[in-house]
Amino acid sequence: MEKVRVDKWLWAIRLYKSRTLATEACDAGKVKMDNTSVKASKLVAVGDTIQIRHNHSIKIFKISKLIDKRVNASIAVTCYEDLSPPEIMDPLLKSVFHKAGGIRDKGAGRPTKRDRRDIDKYSDTDDIEDFFD
């Protein structure tokens, strides 16, 4: 096997529970190769690097082995090399973002007007220092 569809490979390495979810992620632009979104039918080969937005974080995988059948987790881990950067948010920023209402506790209800302003202030800034001013 020289090439496999990207959605099939993502499903086989157990990143997505179903192939349909992997296809939907590709269609939504969450899967990229060379900084361009790929369709689910894109063929990948050994050595390709894939960038995925998954669970509110960015994951980068380098393909080391091609599989097209779903296997158990211990085998799936050997099929890729995880090149993901460490978590970008430091604990202080997480606490501020949590306080601002970006991450809400279950059952906390809707954000208040003040919370929404803080969320907007945080999401509009490209530079972290602007948020603390």
How large is the average pLDDT for residues 105-130?
A: 67
Same domain, 113 and 78: no
CATH code of residue 27: 3.10.290.10
pTM over 0.85: no
Which residues share a beta bridge with 5? Answer: 43
d(CA 60, CA 86): 11
The residue behind tokens 């990229």 is 32
In a domain, 113, yes or no: yes
Same domain, 77 and 109: no
Q: How far is CA 107 from the centre of its chain?
A: 25
Q: How many CB atoms lie within 10 A of CB 52?
A: 21
d(CA 38, CA 35): 9
In a domain, 39, yes or no: yes
Compute the Cα dihedral for 88, 122, 16, 32 and give only its sign.
negative
Per-residue pLDDT band for 133 (boundaries 50, 70, 90) equals very low
Report pLDDT for 84. 85
d(CA 13, CA 78): 9
Who wins on pLDDT, 1 or 130? 1
CA–CA distance from 66 to each of 10, 80, 85, 116 (Å)?
A: 10, 9, 23, 45
Report pLDDT for 70. 93
Report pLDDT for 58. 83
Query: pLDDT tens digit string along 46-93?
Result: 999 999 987 667 889 999 999 989 999 999 999 999 998 876 544 545
In a domain, 71, yes or no: yes
Per the structure, the count of domains in the chain is 2
pLDDT at 100 over 80: no
Which residues span the domain enclosing 36?
Answer: 4-82
In a domain, 74, yes or no: yes
Who wins on pLDDT, 95 or 116? 116
The candidate with the shortest Cα–Cα distance to 128, out of 102, 92, 74, 103, is 92
Same domain, 68 and 105: no
Same domain, 26 and 63: yes
